[in-house]
């Protein structure tokens, strides 16, 4: 077993003054498996990066065992990575990741429930869904994507 430590440091000097950057550190204990790949994503093609299931298999990660996910856009053509995270009901959300930037997940649960915000409060509670699949897409040029996953169970 191992411990994964993730550190994020923010530092900003604006007009010669330190703006009070923050360092945040998080640890995930009991990591027994890591998975790291670089995937070439063809232009204009939705490509599956990761899949999740209630029990891990050769192609899927156990949704309850994933402790950390990092996806990094390594594209050399200045094309933003469009990352789409979908659950098993085909509800999804998307983020754009600029070149040499990363998107991190502390686990594989997210919410996609449509809610109305009134006076700063949700009108209905949020229900977290487990990610079913994570897809990548480049609109203008093929590019590489790095994927790193840490899990507390072997698949």
Question: Is the separation of the CB atoms in 81 and 138 below 8 Å?
Answer: yes
Q: What is the pLDDT of residue 70?
A: 94
Q: What is the pLDDT of residue 103?
A: 94
Q: What is the pLDDT of residue 80?
A: 96
| pTM beyond cutoff 0.85 | no
pLDDT < 70 regions, the chain: 54-59, 108-131, 155
Domain spans, the chain = 32-151
For residue 70, how far is the Cα from the chain centroid?
5
DSSP calls for 32-65: -EEEEEEEEEPBT--EEEEEEESS--SS-EETTT
Query: What fold does the segment set 32-151 form as a domain?
Result: Jelly Rolls (2.60.120)
| Helix/strand/coil for 4 | strand
């Amino acid at each position: 077993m191992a411990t994964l430590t993730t550190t994020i440091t923010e530092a900003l000097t604006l007009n010669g003054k330190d703006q009070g950057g923050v360092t945040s550190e998080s640890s995930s204990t009991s990591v027994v498996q890591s998975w790291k790949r670089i995937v070439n994503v063809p232009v204009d093609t939705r490509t599956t990066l990761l899949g999740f299931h209630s029990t891990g298999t050769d192609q899927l990660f156990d949704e309850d065992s994933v402790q950390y996910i990092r996806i990094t856009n390594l594209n050399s053509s200045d094309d933003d990575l469009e990352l789409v995270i979908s659950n098993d009901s085909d509800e999804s959300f998307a983020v754009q990741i600029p070149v040499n930037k990363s998107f991190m997940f502390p686990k594989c649960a997210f919410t996609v429930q449509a809610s109305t915000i009134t006076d700063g409060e949700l009108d209905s509670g949020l229900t977290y869904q487990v990610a079913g699949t994570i897809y990548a897409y480049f609109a203008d040029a093929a590019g590489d994507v790095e994927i790193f996953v840490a899990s507390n169970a072997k698949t």
